């Protein structure tokens, strides 16, 4: 296994990446939702709604939301699974989980379990969940292959994996505009709204280092999923990969 | 969006009516409508239906090839056996399995005509885009004027469509 990996555009020791990512999310946790709204101009809500619509989740289902952060998806999943269902919000970062707990309480949602866990070694039994989701989290995982295998392991047969993540813009003109926006404006927004330019510089860089749509699809299939397809949102700025364990 | 709409409608129907899917569990049924270049793969797993666009090299249990009219007729409750007898569709695999799925499609509240028109609209948009790209490509290497090339192409398309680059390669 490689001894170095990327942290944004920097090459760092594999063992250090997790701590560095933790530092980023410790720093941004309190302003995470605000920054999402500012950076995406609110469209992250539409992307998440689309993810829920694509989930095929029904009453009684068990859902695991990995890197669930402030709990936007967990709140929506909770409504879909009904009283017989179960939703677990997991995140490797304690600060994000605390924000998630506050956010869920503010929405009047109390029946979601919180688990602090590393996506590369999920503390759940095999074949437990009907749906596993990870929204804007996979690119921060050091060993994505290992995490995808874990997601496959904990899903039931017929379970659905949903990966919502920034991806590769397909249109060259849009790509140029997007590059200008993300490398120039996003760090400035970070400085202005969250007093943290560096973390948002990392965000812009980490998006470019994340596998493109086809590469990620192949990684998902290699992890054991029998079916995987993706849907580009806003020209590929974001893509939703949907995979099925058969 | 096309597949997502069908998938959501079918699963809503299944959940609302507690429909037992064991008879089609773990089966892949495909519907191919050549006229509109549409193939849908229906996969039944975990008491729900997934509508996917690619069977990822997995064996298809039943494949149904049909016309657009027959596809619409299925949503209105047409019997597959009758359609087969009238040679309006071709089924490879168990007709019974295909009929189970057809029954679900006809019981759903899917407005398939609306969906198809949207889907066909996408094709039209795609063809317009393709024609525009061809015109743009053609303008490079001539006198470089895209306006002149468009004028010439429109004239050719109106007078002699078969010679027009807009329609080139489209049977």
Stronger pLDDT, A205 or A98, i.e. the higher one: A98
| Same-domain status, B121 and B104 | no
Same domain, B48 and B84: yes
Residues B147, B86, single domain; the answer is no
Provide the ipTM: 0.81
Domain boundary among the residues B110, B137, B162 is at B110
Whether A100 and chain B come into contact, CB under 8 Å, resolves to no
- Verify that B100 and B163 share a domain, yes or no: no
Mind listing the pLDDT tens digit of every residue in chain B (171 residues)? Answer: 788 889 999 999 999 999 999 989 999 999 999 888 899 999 999 999 999 988 777 889 999 999 989 999 999 888 998 898 888 899 999 999 999 999 999 998 788 888 887 776 655 554 555 555 555 555 555 555 656 666 666 655 555 555 555 555 443
From A159, A221, A227, residue closest to B46, measured CB to CB: A159
User: What pLDDT sits at residue B135?
Assistant: 56
Q: Confirm or reject contact between A46 and chain B (CB < 8 A).
A: no
Q: Does B8 touch chain A (CB under 8 A)?
A: yes
pLDDT at residue number B124: 52
Pick the last residue of a domain from B58, B82, B110: B110
User: What is the residue range of B119's domain?
Assistant: 115-170
Q: Do B67 and B141 have their domain in common? A: no
**CATH number of the domain that residue B14 is part of:** 3.30.1050.10
Are residues B127 and B145 both part of a single domain?
yes
Q: A172-186, A220-234, B157-171: which range is least confident on average?
A: B157-171
Band (pLDDT 50/70/90 cuts) for residue A131 is: very high
Cβ distance of A246 and B15 shorter than 8 Å:
no
Tokens at A86, concatenated: 């179960």
Q: Are residue B80 and residue B164 in the same domain, yes or no?
A: no
Q: Report the residue from B46, B52, B56 with minimal CB separation from A158.
A: B46
Burial of B147 (0-12, 13-18, 19+ CB in 10 A): exposed
**Which residue out of B42, B45, B58, B60 would a mutagenesis test of the A interface target, given it has the greatest number of A Cβ atoms within 10 Å?**
B45
In this structure, the answer to whether residues B79 and B137 fall within a common structural domain is no
Contact of A60 with chain B, judged by CB distance below 8 Å, is answered with: no
- Model pLDDT, residue B140: 53
Domain edge (last residue) among B87, B110, B133:
B110
> Do B106 and B133 fall within a single domain?
no
A106 touches B at CB < 8 Å: no
| Residues B102 and B127 reside in one and the same domain | no
Residue A37: which pLDDT band, with cuts at 50, 70 and 90? confident
Measured CA to CA, the distance from residue B38 to residue B68 in angstroms comes to 9
The predicted structure's pLDDT at residue B97: 93
Q: Report percent pLDDT > 90 for chain A.
A: 59
For chain B, what is the domain count?
Answer: 2
In tens, the pLDDT along A74-125 reads 999 999 999 999 999 999 999 889 999 999 999 999 899 999 999 999 999 9
pLDDT of residue B163: 55
pLDDT reported for residue B170: 45
Higher-confidence position of A14 and A158: A158
């Amino acid at each position: 296994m490689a001894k170095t990996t990327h942290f944004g555009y920097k090459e760092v020791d594999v063992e250090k990446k997790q701590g560095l990512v933790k530092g980023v999310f410790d720093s941004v946790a309190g302003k995470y939702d605000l920054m999402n709204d500012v950076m995406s101009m609110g469209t992250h809500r539409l992307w998440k709604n689309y993810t829920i619509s694509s989930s095929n989740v029904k009453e009684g289902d068990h859902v695991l939301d990995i890197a669930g952060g402030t709990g936007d998806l967990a709140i929506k999943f909770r409504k879909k699974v009904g009283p017989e269902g179960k939703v677990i919000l997991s995140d490797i970062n304690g600060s994000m989980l605390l924000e998630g707990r506050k956010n869920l309480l503010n929405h009047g949602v109390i029946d979601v379990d919180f688990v602090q866990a590393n996506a590369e070694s999920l503390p759940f039994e095999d074949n437990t969940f009907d749906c596993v989701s990870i929204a804007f989290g996979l690119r921060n995982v050091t060993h994505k292959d290992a995490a995808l295998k874990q997601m496959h392991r904990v899903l039931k047969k017929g379970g659905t994996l949903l990966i919502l993540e920034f991806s590769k813009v397909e249109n060259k003109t849009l790509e140029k505009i997007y590059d200008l926006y993300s490398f120039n404006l996003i760090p400035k927004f970070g400085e202005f709204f969250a007093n943290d330019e560096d973390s948002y510089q990392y965000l812009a860089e980490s998006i470019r280092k994340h596998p493109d749509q086809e590469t990620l699809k192949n990684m998902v299939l290699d992890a054991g999923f029998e079916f995987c397809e993706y849907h580009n949102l806003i020209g590929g700025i974001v893509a939703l990969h949907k995979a099925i364990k058969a | 969006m096309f597949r997502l709409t069908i998938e959501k409608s079918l699963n809503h129907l299944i959940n609302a009516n507690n429909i037992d899917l064991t008879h089609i569990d773990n089966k892949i049924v495909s519907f191919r409508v050549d006229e509109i270049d549409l193939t849908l793969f229906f996969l039944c797993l975990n008491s729900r239906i997934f509508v996917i666009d690619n069977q990822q090299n997995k064996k298809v249990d039943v494949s149904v090839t049909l016309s657009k009219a027959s596809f619409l007729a299925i949503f209105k409750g047409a019997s597959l056996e009758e359609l087969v007898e009238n040679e309006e569709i071709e089924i490879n695999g168990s007709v019974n399995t295909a009929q189970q799925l057809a029954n679900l499609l006809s019981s759903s509240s899917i407005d398939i005509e609306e969906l198809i028109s949207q889907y066909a609209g996408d094709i039209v948009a795609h063809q317009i885009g393709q024609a525009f790209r061809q015109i743009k490509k053609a303008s490079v290497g001539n006198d470089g004027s895209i306006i002149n090339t468009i004028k010439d192409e429109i004239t050719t398309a109106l007078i002699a469509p078969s010679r027009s680059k807009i329609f080139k390669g489209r049977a």
